Structure 1
Amino acid sequence: MQLQFLGTGAGMPSKDRNTSALVLKLLEERGTVWLFDCGEATQHQILHTSIRPRKVEKIFITHLHGDHIFGLPGFLSSRSFLGGEDTLTLYGPKGLQEWVATTLNVSKTHLTYAIEYVEVQEGVIFEDDQFIVRAQLLEHVIPCFGYRIEQKALKGELLIEKARNLGVPKGPLLGKLKNGEDITLEDGRKVLSQAVTAPPKKGFTISILGDTKYCEPAKILSEGADIVVHEATFDHATEHLAASYGHSTNVEAAKIANESKAKNLILNHISSRFLPHDIEALSEQAKEVFPNTFIAHDFSQFEWKNGTLIEA
């Protein structure tokens, strides 16, 4: 699994940071990618990456402020031109479907694929045999959701040598054991799957939060998460402004990660008031509260590998 940031700014684009967009690459897990928010010029940012729009299976919108959705009509249109045919599921607050449908209708945009709309409510919004996604309302100036993505436990690997020592021949019987099925050998002996497979591996958990001030729902969504992506529109010196605008500081984001016992924090949604030379101070302030803190930049990529977050 990889996370790639396409836009890490707040409010409007700047020379250093585009508006909000984040891709969760699940190419190894399911051969697709999920997009979280789609600010203006997201499709332009994609041109500088290896991401293929037709591989985008789901889009999760946190809220309906322009810096999180103004790139959506263009992306949906381009996905058609680039060979997208599979159904795309669009998750978001009430009003998103109306806005998208009106925009596509007025512009006479024809899509080569169907859109499935899911109006997000608190609770489980998606579940299959691999993943479960939960949503919860945060505290912003308009309804805004955070998302918790949990990968379900992975089947333990097949212990080939152990199976061979028990007399299991090469072929389909090994596959059955790997899939959790017990088998019976030609001589009548039964081999249990659990006897020749390693214990299930814990999947990863990511909390991707929209715009929010410091609040309890953010902690709930981030509880025990391997990675928390949290906005940091303000710094500690401007804390008095953060809550009134429905936003958080870098230190408040660190407190959320610390209090929720998360493993890693990535600061996102950085105001253009912070110039490149200010970023190190933003990071150091947060690390005083939560040491495993990273700051996202446009095109930053992070990989979750063997239980460790690696910045590529």
Structure 2
Amino acid sequence: MELYFMGTNAGVPSLQRNVTSLALRMLEERRSFWLFDCGEGTQHQVLRSPLKLSKLEKIFITHLHGDHLFGLPGLLSSRSYQGGDTPLVLYGPKGLEQYVRMSLGISESHINYELIVKEHSGGLIFEDETFRVESALLEHRIDSYGYRVTELDKPGRLDFEALTKLGVKPGPLYGKLKRGESIETGSGTVHAKDVLGVPKKGRIITILGDTRPCSAAIQLAKDADLLVHEATFLHELAETAYNYHHSTAVQAAQTASAAHAKELVLTHFSSRYKDDEQLGLLLDEARVIFPNTRLAKEHELVVVARDEQL
């Protein structure tokens, strides 16, 4: 799993950065990617990226402010012209479906795939045999949600030496054992637990929408392998951040620390911070509290490491 940032600015785009959007690439796990927020210009950023809209499976919108969703109608329409014909599921707060259907309808945009819109108010919003996605309401001027993506644990490796001694030959029986099922052989029953190694623990990624510091952010980020948190201002502007329902870099680091997250990625920077030197001040503030912090950079991959890779 990898994160690919396509927009890291807050409010409005600048010459240096686009407004909010990031992709969770899961080519190995699902042969697809998920998109989180879709600010204006996101489809142009996709064209400059290794991503293909035909591989887009799901879009999660944190809230209905324009810098997080004005790019949706164009991207949804363009997907049809870029080979996207599989169903696409769109998740977000109440009002999202009206916005999307009205935008596509008034502009007479026709898409050749099934678009499924699932409005939610938090809780468990998606689960299958490989991933679970939970959401919770944060603290912002309008309803803004964070998302916790949990990769389910995978079975451990088969002990081929033990299987050979037990007389189990390669084939469908291996698959049953891998799924945790017991099998029958000529010499008796073979239980999966006896021939499987330690399960491979799944990773947890938390991606928050715009928010003040709040308990829901900490809960969503609990023990996360990677937390993406807004850092709109330096801490000298903490009062401004509070008044606009945003967070400082220091507050993002405090959330990561309280949640016992493993890595923090800062994003959603005020356009007043224009160059690397100014952004570096945000990073320096956060690292005092949470050393394993990095800045999101557009068109840069961030690998979500497993414990054994850390």
The aligned residue for residue 82 of structure 1 is 82
Give the aligned residue type for 1:32. Answer: S
* Structure 1 residue 167: Cα displacement: 2.0
Provide the secondary structure at the position in 2 that maps to 1:24: strand
Contact 2:226 2:304 (C-alpha < 8 Å) held by counterparts = no
The aligned residue for residue 292 of structure 1 is 292
User: Is 1:213 paired with 2:212?
Assistant: yes
* Structure 1 residue 172: Cα displacement: 2.4
* Structure 1 residue 309: Cα displacement: 7.4
User: Is 1:139 paired with 2:127?
Assistant: no
User: Is 1:118 paired with 2:114?
Assistant: no
TM-score normalised to structure 1 length: 0.96
Within 5 A, what are the aligned runs for 1:162-311?
162-186=162-186, 188-276=187-275, 277-307=277-307
Over the aligned positions, Cα root-mean-square deviation in angstroms equals 1.3
CA distance in structure 2 between the partners assigned to 1:110 and 1:275 by the alignment:
39
Assess, with a 3 A threshold, how the Cα gap between structure 1 residues 309 and 11 changes in structure 2: closer, same or farther. farther
Contact 1:303 1:309 (C-alpha < 8 Å) held by counterparts = no
Provide the secondary structure at the position in 2 that maps to 1:14: coil
CA distance in structure 2 between the partners assigned to 1:192 and 1:116 by the alignment:
41
Provide the secondary structure at the position in 1 that maps to 2:229: strand
Query: Which is further off, 209-218 or 169-178?
Result: 169-178
* Structure 1 residue 308: Cα displacement: 6.5
Give the aligned residue type for 1:132. Answer: R
Contact 1:254 1:287 (C-alpha < 8 Å) held by counterparts = yes
Give the aligned residue type for 1:252. Answer: Q
CA distance in structure 1 between the partners assigned to 2:88 and 2:78 by the alignment:
13
CA distance in structure 2 between the partners assigned to 1:191 and 1:93 by the alignment:
49
Instruction: Give aligned-pair identity as a percent.
Output: 48
The aligned residue for residue 21 of structure 2 is 21
| Corresponding residue pairs, total | 309
Query: Structure 2 regions of 5+ residues with no counterpart?
Result: none
Give the aligned residue type for 1:216. Answer: S
Assess, with a 3 A threshold, how the Cα gap between structure 1 residues 207 and 306 changes in structure 2: closer, same or farther. closer
CA distance in structure 2 between the partners assigned to 1:309 and 1:20 by the alignment:
29
Contact 2:229 2:267 (C-alpha < 8 Å) held by counterparts = yes
CA distance in structure 1 between the partners assigned to 2:308 and 2:191 by the alignment:
32
Provide the secondary structure at the position in 2 that maps to 1:190: strand
* Structure 1 residue 222: Cα displacement: 0.8
CA distance in structure 2 between the partners assigned to 1:174 and 1:159 by the alignment:
10
Provide the secondary structure at the position in 2 that maps to 1:175: helix
Contact 1:148 1:205 (C-alpha < 8 Å) held by counterparts = yes
The aligned residue for residue 103 of structure 2 is 103
CA distance in structure 1 between the partners assigned to 2:120 and 2:155 by the alignment:
30
Within 5 A, what are the aligned runs for 1:50-65?
50-65=50-65
TM-score normalised to structure 2 length: 0.97
* Structure 1 residue 153: Cα displacement: 1.1
Provide the secondary structure at the position in 2 that maps to 1:97: helix
* Structure 1 residue 99: Cα displacement: 0.8
* Structure 1 residue 286: Cα displacement: 0.3
Provide the secondary structure at the position in 2 that maps to 1:30: coil
Provide the secondary structure at the position in 1 that maps to 2:289: coil
Provide the secondary structure at the position in 2 that maps to 1:181: coil
Q: Deviations over 1:193-243 (max 9, x none)?
A: 111111222111111000001111111111111111000001111111001
CA distance in structure 2 between the partners assigned to 1:89 and 1:145 by the alignment:
17
The aligned residue for residue 33 of structure 1 is 33
CA distance in structure 2 between the partners assigned to 1:96 and 1:31 by the alignment:
27
Contact 1:264 1:309 (C-alpha < 8 Å) held by counterparts = no
CA distance in structure 2 between the partners assigned to 1:158 and 1:30 by the alignment:
22
Query: Structure 1 regions of 5+ residues with no counterpart?
Result: none
Query: Which is further off, 220-229 or 247-256?
Result: 220-229
Give the aligned residue type for 2:214. Answer: C
CA distance in structure 1 between the partners assigned to 2:56 and 2:62 by the alignment:
17
CA distance in structure 1 between the partners assigned to 2:285 and 2:12 by the alignment:
24
Contact 2:73 2:100 (C-alpha < 8 Å) held by counterparts = yes
Provide the secondary structure at the position in 1 that maps to 2:269: coil
Give the aligned residue type for 1:77. Answer: S
Give the aligned residue type for 1:22. Answer: L
CA distance in structure 2 between the partners assigned to 1:104 and 1:7 by the alignment:
23
